[in-house]
């Protein structure tokens, strides 16, 4: 899975790559990168709680990811998902979602989806550009 977040100006803000066991997080805004296990990512980033990056990517895309989560459905798609102290809401509840809000405690992440695509092609792990500082733990 590769999640790319863009700034309002259309430049790349972050890239989050995850497979079954590893995560690479590239912060293009600050010129840093980090690589580790999915467990390391969950403990250092913390914002997604114990949800894996892969499961969170499915949730951001408006798809149920794990039977252990609690879901509220509407006619056109997911309305809400909850895992531990992390709440994900969809406005409007539709698929694909247009606006996703993820809240954990006082932290809030709002995602506006302008375009989404799926593919069966393999996703290449991104490489950090030369000059980026290594081993900086991801943070919101």
Residue 126 lies in a domain: no
Calculate the average pLDDT of the chain.
Answer: 87
At residue 116, what are phi and psi to the nearest 5 degrees?
A: -140, 155
**Token pair for residue 103?**
């809240």
- Nearest Cα neighbor of 82 from 59, 110, 112, 61 is 59
pLDDT value of position 26: 95
With respect to residue 125, please indicate whether it lies within any of the assigned structural domains.
no
Domains held by the chain: number: 1
The confidence score (pLDDT) of residue 140 equals: 62
Q: What CATH number does residue 14 fall under?
A: 2.50.20.10
In a domain, 128, yes or no: no
Q: How confident is the model at residue 133 (pLDDT cuts 50, 70, 90)?
A: very high
Tens-digit pLDDT profile for residues 55-104 = 888 888 888 988 788 999 999 989 999 988 899 999 999 888 999 999 98
Domain of 53 in residue numbering reads as: 2-112
Q: Which of 21, 13, 17 is nearest to 3 (CA)?
A: 17
pTM reported for the whole predicted model = 0.75
- What's the pLDDT tens digit per position in 10-42? 999 999 898 878 889 999 999 999 999 887 887
């Amino acid at each position: 899975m590769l999640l790319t977040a863009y700034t309002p100006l259309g430049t790349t803000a972050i890239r989050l790559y995850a497979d079954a066991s590893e995560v690479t997080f590239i912060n293009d805004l600050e010129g840093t990168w980090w690589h580790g296990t999915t467990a390391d990512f969950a403990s250092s980033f913390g914002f997604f709680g114990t949800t894996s990056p892969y499961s969170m990517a499915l949730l951001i895309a408006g798809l149920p990811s794990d039977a252990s989560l609690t879901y509220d459905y509407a006619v056109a798609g997911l309305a809400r998902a909850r895992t531990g102290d992390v709440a994900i809401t969809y406005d409007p509840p539709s698929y694909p979602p247009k606006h996703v809000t993820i809240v954990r405690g006082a932290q809030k992440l709002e995602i506006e989806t302008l375009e989404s695509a799926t593919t069966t092609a393999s996703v290449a792990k991104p490489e950090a550009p030369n000059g980026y500082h290594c081993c900086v733990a991801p943070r919101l």
